[in-house]
């Protein structure tokens, strides 16, 4: 299944949302992550369920934080304990925040979907993302919206970063971040762009929109399982039943 992990549907009418969802389906996506900016008073799940009624696409919730400090991030993360089935994403230029987020089990994604933030990605942070099973989300939206005079610079910036993660394609996600329908690109076109233009190997380019988001979804399902204690460990209640039968 092909997935886009950063879909923006806020502040749109139902008609506009249906049109946008239909475009994602038409270009070849099967799963999209609907992104919500953190708002303590917002009913994320109720809104997502309402959106799901409008489409046959599989919708996954994603909450994004824009913390200004580690203290700010810790405070906000405490507010989403009831959304274990939602992906949690961090956007920040603060290196301390990025380092803390990479180590925190509640965080799933460090997002670098604009060219200004992507410059904060370092080999050390990449190592942490891999070590703690986090994902690095990237977009090509700046390539699409930048005027011709600056486009080559944006290409170079993204190419340079992807060169750092070329050996770790298992941490990459594609987050489209398309506010306008005109900029929506299908998964096969995305694969071609990352492979042909940014020189990411073909298998890694496919992982960005296929295997990696599927792995993230599996983690969210496991995390939301009340019997799940930690990765690879579950409470098997039926063992207790068998134990009683043997007595």
Q: What is the rounded distance in angstroms from the CA atom of residue 167 to the CA atom of residue 155?
A: 19
Q: Please give the structure tokens belonging to residue 176.
A: 């489209």
* CATH code of the domain in which 187 resides: 3.20.20.140
Residue pLDDT, tens place only, 155-209:
888 888 888 888 888 999 999 999 899 999 999 999 999 999 899 989 999 999 9
- Average pLDDT taken over every residue of the chain: 88
Domain of 53, in residue numbers: 3-246
Confidence class of residue 244 from pLDDT cuts 50, 70 and 90? low
Alpha helices, DSSP H only, in the chain? Answer: 14-27, 44-52, 70-77, 95-103, 115-118, 123-131, 141-145, 148-165, 187-192, 202-209, 211-223, 237-246
- Report whether pLDDT(246) > 70: no
**What pTM, to 2 d.p., does this model score?**
0.88
Q: What's the domain count of the chain?
A: 1
Q: What is the rounded distance in angstroms from the CA atom of residue 89 to the CA atom of residue 215?
A: 16
Residue pLDDT, tens place only, 95-133:
999 999 999 999 999 998 877 777 778 889 999 999 999
Q: What is the rounded distance in angstroms from the CA atom of residue 208 to the CA atom of residue 238?
A: 38
């Amino acid at each position: 299944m092909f997935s886009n992990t950063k879909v923006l549907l806020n502040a749109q009418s139902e008609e506009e949302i249906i049109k946008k969802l239909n475009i994602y389906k038409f270009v070849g996506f099967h799963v999209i992550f609907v992104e919500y900016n953190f708002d303590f008073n917002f009913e994320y799940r109720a809104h997502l369920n309402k959106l799901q009624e409008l489409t046959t696409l599989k919708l996954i919730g994603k909450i994004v934080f824009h913390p200004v400090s580690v203290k700010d991030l810790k405070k906000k993360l405490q507010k989403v304990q009831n959304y274990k089935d939602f992906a949690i994403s961090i956007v920040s230029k603060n290196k301390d925040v990025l380092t803390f987020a990479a180590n925190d089990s509640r965080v799933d994604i460090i997002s670098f979907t604009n060219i200004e933030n992507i410059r904060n990605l370092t080999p050390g942070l990449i190592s942490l993302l891999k070590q703690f099973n986090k994902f690095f989300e990237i977009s090509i939206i700046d390539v699409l919206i930048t005027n011709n005079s600056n486009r080559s610079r944006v290409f170079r910036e993204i190419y340079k970063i992807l060169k750092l993660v070329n050996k770790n394609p298992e941490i990459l996600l594609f987050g489209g971040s398309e506010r306008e329908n005109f900029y929506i690109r299908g998964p096969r076109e995305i694969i071609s762009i990352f492979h042909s233009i940014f020189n990411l190997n073909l298998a890694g380019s496919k992982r960005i929109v296929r295997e990696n988001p599927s792995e993230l979804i599996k983690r969210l399902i496991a995390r939301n399982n009340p019997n799940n204690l930690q990765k690879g460990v579950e409470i098997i209640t039926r063992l207790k039943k068998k134990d009683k039968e043997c007595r």
